[in-house]
């Protein structure tokens, strides 16, 4: 059985969706496609398997991706990993 990452929704309004993701070691999101552009802000340091490659991420070092990104995210590290994902729903003023 696959260990699933957990999601805690913080905001879902007309402009953004803000979700905190928590990954125990070995936990994953499952394969998915982002329908909106998004920004990820790591809350911890760690290594995630993203789209078949291991990526070292550091707390506070954000990155952005366009809509249409397809991948599975897996915590390949030995400790819990957490990040905040901010999905943009449209043009922001």
d(C-alpha 41, C-alpha 20), whole Å: 9
Q: Is residue 70 part of a domain?
A: yes
Q: Which domain holds residue 40?
A: 6-81
pLDDT band for position 93 (cuts 50, 70, 90):
low
**Residue 27, CB half-sphere, CA atoms under 13 Å: how many?**
14
Task: Let me know: does 21 contact 82? Beta carbons within 8 Å.
Answer: yes
Is the pLDDT assigned to residue 90 strictly greater than 90?
no
Structural domains counted in the chain: 1
The encoded tokens of residue 54 equal 């291991």
The pTM assigned to this predicted structure is 0.92
32-68 pLDDT, tens digit per residue, is 999 999 999 999 999 999 988 999 999 999 999 999 9
Q: Is residue 88 part of a domain?
A: no
Q: What is the pLDDT of residue 71?
A: 95
Q: Is residue 26 part of a domain?
A: yes
Q: Is residue 89 part of a domain?
A: no
Q: Is residue 92 part of a domain?
A: no
Q: Is residue 13 part of a domain?
A: yes
């Amino acid at each position: 059985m696959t260990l699933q990452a957990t999601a805690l929704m913080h905001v879902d309004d007309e402009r953004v969706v803000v979700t905190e993701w928590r990954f125990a070691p070995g936990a994953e999101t499952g394969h998915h496609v982002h329908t909106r552009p998004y920004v990820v802000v790591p809350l911890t340091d760690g290594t995630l398997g993203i789209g078949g490659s291991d990526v070292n991420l550091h707390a506070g070092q954000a990155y952005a991706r366009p809509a249409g990104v397809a991948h599975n995210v897996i915590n390949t590290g030995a400790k819990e990993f957490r990040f905040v994902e901010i999905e943009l729903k449209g043009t922001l003023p």
